[in-house]
Amino acid sequence: MKDLFELEPKDVIKFFYDINQIPRGSGNEKEISDFLLKFGKDRGLYSIQDEYLNVLIRKPATSGYEDKQGIIIQGHMDMVCEKNEDTVHDFIKDPIKMLIEGDHLTADGTTLGADNGIAVAMGLAVLDSNTLSHPEIELLITTDEEVGMTGAINFDTNLLKGKYFLNLDSEEEGEFVVSCAGGLKSIISLPVHKKELLMEGHLCKEVALKKLIGGHSGVEINKCRANAIKLTGRLLCQLDEKIDIHLVDIFGGTKDNVIPRETFFTVVIPENEEELFNEILDSLGAEISNEYRVSDPDIEIVSDTLETGTTLNVIEEQDMETAIFLLVGLPNGVQSMSAELEGFVESSLNIGKIALEDDHLVYLFSIRSGVRSLKYHITNTLELFARQTNSEFIKTAEYPEWPIKKDSLLLEKSMAIYKETTGKEPLVKSLHAGVEPGVFLESRPDIEAISIGPDMQAVHSPDEWVSISSLERTYKFICELLAAL
């Protein structure tokens, strides 16, 4: 910790450490929200917490800036909770164990929470400073961003006084995001029936597909990484074609917005077909390893024989066939590329989780698109799959896209200050991921917004890191921008 607290910018690092002592997975944000509210009140600043646990803290302008347009600094307090299979960590009560690896700040086998704790830490450092020059500042920290932007969607934007909106939820230094995709989260729930199977002459096999890279289902959907759930469908399909299998259980992935890294399923097979079963696993494992040798070089398929009683409940054959049909047939990954912005993903779909819950097999999806009509077209496609398989289709959350605003003074000033402080031209881009400015600008189109942040990689995975030197440069730029505005 001594080495950690020597890093620059010291105030930002210290606040990030404090934040990471508080468990703050999506839906578990009361403690971190209370911490932020207390921070503002302890400093005599206007501070409110709404019923959704969003926190707004307002700091008056410094001398000479009283007549300037106010600035809103915004981020979210929740984080994605992912850990390695062999990591012992309870995200409900354990603090994040932070590590320094060269220029990287990372965590010990878990997600770091730099997405978006770094934004919160930079915002707190700005509010805590007595040396920065700035107009009136509003720090808005929202809840539940990672699972549907519930906090942002329900926040009363009439409380905001500022004109310029600085979102700190981007992950590449020197890139100014000025628009983003909208999103929709949904579920297909397939009803399944079970029957009792005599185990005499049968074996129960558990199969694990693991060691995939995974990652963020928005910004990393274009990296051609394997989806463990789709590969599991392929594996079950081949087994079903050649062996009389019975499906007992299946689960994999963790969240709709994370490309799944692991899946597990249990099947019953005839005892005399164990050799063929292993041959199919080995053959398909070799095919998959070759196909994903660049994006997912360590993919592994392993199986184990489980002890059972004389009978076992298995999914009825027709329901199993339907489940496999959905796994194989459902679309996944990039759905369209932009004809307007070269190399930019226009729309995508991620199958992020599958689980057998009582008498239903549940599939979770995250749909993203910069074009609203395409978002609904993909949604309609999933709904059609559900209807044809007698499944229930449920929309769980939706957020709007953020369209580009031309002639933005905030963007103009930001580009000028960035070039002045770094000697480099920033890259102005759109983002294929939901960021909260889209939600706020839907009801407040008068606001000008950009999204920036330091270099981060592998967010939403245990390999997440943030560049320490990039964090220092980004915070310096933000301080310069506040003064310039």
Q: Tokens standing for 441? A: 């600008």
Which comes out higher in pLDDT, residue 376 or 344?
376
pLDDT for position 335: 97
- Going through 413-461 in order, the beta strands assigned E by DSSP cover 427-431, 448-451, 456-457
Q: Report pLDDT digits (tens) over 326-340.
A: 999 999 999 999 887
Which comes out higher in pLDDT, residue 196 or 85?
196
Inter-CA distances, 169 with 78, 180, 198, Å: 12, 12, 54
3-state secondary structure of 286: helix
pLDDT for position 460: 85
pLDDT for position 343: 84
Residue 342 pLDDT > 90, yes or no?
no
Residue 288 pLDDT > 90, yes or no?
yes
Q: Tokens standing for 165? A: 């909106």
Provide mean pLDDT across the span 34-49: 98
pLDDT for position 340: 77
Q: Tokens standing for 4? A: 């950690």
Residue 309 pLDDT > 90, yes or no?
yes
Instruction: Give me the architecture of the 4-181+401-484 domain, per CATH.
Output: 3-Layer(aba) Sandwich (3.40)
Q: Tokens standing for 401? A: 């896209």
Contacts of 290 by beta carbon, 8 Å cutoff, 6+ apart: none
Q: Tokens standing for 305? A: 């024989």
Residue 148 pLDDT > 90, yes or no?
no
Going 249 to 252 to 255 to 259, the CA torsion angle's sign is: negative
Q: Tokens standing for 414? A: 């930001």
Percentage of residues in the chain having pLDDT higher than 90: 90
Residue 465 pLDDT > 80, yes or no?
yes
Residue 474 pLDDT > 90, yes or no?
yes
pLDDT for position 85: 86
Provide mean pLDDT across the span 432-450: 92
User: What are the residue ranges of helices labelled H in 170-227?
Assistant: none
Q: Report pLDDT digits (tens) over 258-270.
A: 999 999 999 999 9
Q: Report pLDDT digits (tens) over 189-244.
A: 999 999 999 999 999 999 999 999 998 898 899 999 999 999 999 999 999 999 99
Provide mean pLDDT across the span 289-314: 96
- Contact between 87 and 443 under an 8 Å Cβ cutoff? The reply is no
Active-site residue numbers?
Answer: 78, 145
Q: Class of 184-399 per CATH?
A: alpha beta
The count of other CB atoms within 10 Å of the CB of residue 271 is 11
Residue 341 pLDDT > 80, yes or no?
no
**Residue labelled with tokens 């009792």:** 196
- Contact between 405 and 163 under an 8 Å Cβ cutoff? The reply is no
pLDDT for position 434: 79
> Lowest mean pLDDT: which of 224-233, 306-315, 361-370, 400-409?
400-409
Provide mean pLDDT across the span 301-323: 97
- Give 90's pLDDT tier (boundaries 50, 70, 90): very high
Residue 471 pLDDT > 90, yes or no?
yes
Give me the chain's average pLDDT, please: 95
pLDDT for position 435: 86
Structural domain boundaries in the chain:
4-181+401-484, 184-399
